Amino acid sequence: MSKPLRVGLIGLGTVASGVAQILLRHRDRTRERAGRDVEITRVAVRDLSKSRDVEIPSDILTTDAMSVATAADVDVVIELIGGISPAKELVEAALNHGKDVVTANKALLCEHGDTLFALARETGRCIAFEAAVAGGCPIIAAMSQSMTGNQITSLAAILNGTSNFILTQMLHNDASYDDAVQEAQECGYAEADPSMDVKGTDAAQKLGILTQLAFGERISPDQFPVQGIDELELEDLHFADELGYAVKLLATAKLVNGHLELHTQPTLIRKERPLAQVDGPYNMIEITGDAVGKAWFSAMGAGQMATASAVVADIIDVAVGRAAITFPHLNLWQTEEKFQLQKSEDIERRYYFRFHVEDRPHVIADIADVLGRNGISLSSVMQKEAQIESPKAGEPPVVPLVFMTHNATEGQLRAAAIELDSLDCVQPPWLCLPVSDDQA
């Protein structure tokens, strides 16, 4: 049997503890699949005295992360601290010292993947990153290996299990947004500060990585529309349900007339579509290829062990040599530009509008007039009789009003938004979400 693969863990948080548990508790299984022993030889932590869910020998613990990245008795560095710095410096040091790297750091790859991948090629090492996207769903392997016979034309994905769990709790349990967030935190799906998840940033970063794999384009989240679920009300989920849709935080990349169109936003999806039926902390990626047609991949996207399993899979790929073979052929983060990015103002879709308006004559006409002047045509209107108490004494009561539109551009929407904000009959805030009518 080959000599052991020596692993250096940087970080021992939730996911890293899960990785350590798998490697320590399932040594025989890992040995069988890796073809050799996999040994944890060094672990970097912030606090040596902290109690942990997994027992790590004290003599391999250190607070000096750089010493792990450069240690002679480490073959592969597992970076699981997240963020940009010092993660970037640690990965660079590991590569420069002849180590392969496994990371779950989507923010790092999205922002600095070009320089890190160039360094890995230069040093003859590899970077494995299955765990950076979609938790336990092996989408990186599928796209970089199994689907290489295709030109991918579109992908639509639920990439944030935390947000999907929150939306599920709101719709099925009538939980308020705040209560659903708290439950996600209690279940270990959300951080103490859930902003990255609920504002769409996490999903947008993952979309950037998948766009690299699918289209060979380096795109950052500041180049396309990103919207989170934190503006949604419970009523929006019920209105969508009544209209035949589910609301999901959808990350989309597709080719439209030779241009690449990207967006990450809460989106109304037809209920019969597989993506609409994904509940709880699960992820799903729907990929369309010119040869295979549509393919779906789904697994747990949030939680300790789902992500840890993907990290361990990467470690085993490094151990058996698969990662070293496939990495040079990934062709990621190259300088060549294959497709032009569609300008956000030219993206054309249907939209859902939800307003709280004064219950008096001409309100629907006033809003429809604003939309019409900006080239936005209505396909349906829904008004509920249930009245919301007016926020101002002596003024008309307030009712929810929902508009569904025909196709309109993002530019038309922005122009209309300026006028809608100035209407006295509309109580802020109002909401607008894109609508996807794809059947499957």
Active-site residue numbers?
206
132 CA to centre of own chain: 9
C-alpha pair distances (Å), 63 with each of 16, 160, 364: 15, 31, 63
338 annotated to bind ligand: no
191 annotated to bind ligand: yes
For residue 226, what are its two tokens? 């990103």
Q: Which of 144, 149, 147 is nearest to 323 (CA)?
A: 144
Query: Whole-angstrom Cα distance, residue 139 to residue 80?
Result: 19
Report which secondary-structure segment, H or E, holds 248: strand 245-256
* Cβ neighbours of residue 117 closer than 8 Å, sequence gap 6 or more: 127, 330, 332, 333
Residue 186: Cβ-neighbour burial (10 angstroms; 0-12, 13-18, 19+): exposed
- Return the DSSP state at 359: S
Q: Check if the beta carbon of residue 235 is closer than 8 Å to that of residue 196.
A: no
Three-state SS at 432:
strand
- Return the DSSP state at 58: G
In this structure, the chain runs to a length of: 440
Q: Check if the beta carbon of residue 105 is closer than 8 Å to that of residue 196.
A: no
Instruction: Detail the residues annotated as belonging to a binding site for L-homoserine.
Output: 191
The binding site for NADPH consists of 106
List the binding residues: 106, 191
